[in-house]
Amino acid sequence: MSDTVQNQSGGADLNAGHDLNIGGDVVGRDKITVTNITVTNITDAQQYDGAVLQDHSVAADVQNVAIGGNATQSPIVTGDRNVVVTVYQGAPVTLPSIEAVQQHRAALRRNLEAEAKQRWGGIGAYIGEESTHLPIEASPYQPGLTNAREDLIQCLRRTNRVLVLGEPGSGKTVALQRLAWEVCGIAEKIIPVMVPLLFYAGTPLDDWVRSVLQETGYLRIDDSRALAAFLHDEHMRCICLFDGLNEVPLAHRDRLKDELVRWMSAYPQHSIIVTSRAQDELWRVLRQKVGETIVIQPITNPQIIAYLKAELGDEKGQALFDRLDERLRTLAQRPLLLWLIKEAAFAGKTLPSNRAELVLPRTK
């Protein structure tokens, strides 16, 4: 455009082919300069303490430069619809845009579907599990716990911080994957962050989470400062899924414990779910900090029958259950082993007589 657009206190000059200077801002932070852009339209512009602010983004030239912000946020300038540049702790920082967050969630949902199909027959084959609350003074192995059973996924969705205990093969990881998949499908812009603790090697948790967030290629988070700005955005919410506390190498356990405690203190607005085998003792150290602890319960016979019928049909599913002796029905109370039993029957193989015969073919 040929005319200069200037706010009346001299806070911003917009000229074709010239620099754009946004001087000052709401709280006296640094100005931001963007060189050589042509602004094609400005609407709803506001003036606030020397900064040009507006309630809606403004499209500019073919490179989609956007200028935005409002009277309670810093000015935003970006040349890419996947990022915005804002001010955090007095200096500019590049963050993912809302569009990028939505693209990331869609890609993550597709990735989870593909992984589920490859590993255990697909998201739709998820075996619904139940959990019970573990009183603070109780042991997960204490007999006679009478707390009501609750759908595991529903429990995870309503809690802000929770430890999930379960036996090997009880479905801890699969439940987190199912939760992440469901969260990516809802309208609310929540980002699941799946962190497998098996691979923790003593690095700062911020670095690892930042790496996980960038796996789909849609979220640009350049460094730990950008991550902090992203997580402190009042419009952003993450569910951090730290899976396999018991799998952390002994040499790094103290460091991880400290990192998790620091993380919870730094980002209290984000939900945290930590899974562990009940036999491991590290979860006890975090229990007071995390708060609620739940224990995954064995699958009941009616649930086993319902799953087999859904997968094999009513007649074949019931027939398979009837073939299971007491030992195999006990094994089938864990989702992984139930799935392996179903797979063996579906393939026409002889049913295994023990856990080892079920698991060994999967590890060869």
Supply the pLDDT for residue 320.
Answer: 94
Supply the pLDDT for residue 141.
Answer: 62
Same domain, 316 and 177: no
Express the helix, strand and coil content of the chain in percent, nearest 5 each: 40, 25, 35
Q: Is residue 276 included in any domain, yes or no?
A: yes
Q: Of 48, 79, 110, which one is at a domain's C-terminal end? A: 79
Please check whether residue 12 is in contact with residue 21, taking contact to mean a CB–CB distance below 8 angstroms. Answer: yes
pTM of the model: 0.74
Give the domain range for residue 262: 101-296
3-state secondary structure of 108: helix
Q: Is residue 89 included in any domain, yes or no?
A: no
Question: Can you give the length of the chain in residues?
Answer: 364
Same domain, 240 and 268: yes
Q: Is residue 91 included in any domain, yes or no?
A: no
**β-pairing, 83-88 with 76-78?**
unpaired
Q: Of 269, 296, 323, which one is at a domain's C-terminal end? A: 296
Same domain, 284 and 233: yes
Same domain, 347 and 205: no
**φ, ψ for residue 280, nearest 5 deg:** -75, 150
Nearest CA to 151 out of 171, 136, 167, 181 is that of 171
Per-residue pLDDT tens, the chain, 364 aa: give them.
433 333 333 333 333 333 334 333 333 333 333 333 323 232 333 332 333 333 333 333 333 333 344 323 443 434 467 899 999 999 999 999 999 999 999 999 999 999 988 877 788 778 888 998 888 666 666 655 557 889 999 999 988 999 999 988 899 999 999 999 999 999 888 999 999 999 899 999 999 999 999 999 999 999 999 999 999 998 899 999 999 999 999 999 999 999 999 999 999 999 999 999 988 888 888 888 888 899 999 999 999 999 999 889 999 999 999 999 999 999 999 998 898 899 888 888 777 766 666 655 544 4
Supply the pLDDT for residue 128.
Answer: 84
Q: Of 274, 296, 318, which one is at a domain's C-terminal end? A: 296
Nearest CA to 201 out of 150, 145, 247 is that of 247
Please check whether residue 36 is in contact with residue 17, taking contact to mean a CB–CB distance below 8 angstroms. Answer: yes
Collect all residues with Cβ–Cβ distance below 8 Å to 104 and sequence separation of at least 6.
Answer: 96, 191, 213, 216, 218, 219
Supply the pLDDT for residue 5.
Answer: 36
Supply the pLDDT for residue 16.
Answer: 38
Instruction: Provide long-range contacts, Cβ within 8 A and 24+ apart, for 285-291.
Output: 285/257, 286/163, 286/245, 286/257, 286/260, 286/261, 287/136, 287/163, 289/260, 289/261, 289/264, 290/161, 290/162, 290/163, 290/264, 291/160, 291/161, 291/162
Same domain, 319 and 234: no
Same domain, 164 and 313: no
Q: Is residue 86 included in any domain, yes or no?
A: no
- The domain that holds 266 is classified in CATH as 3.40.50.300
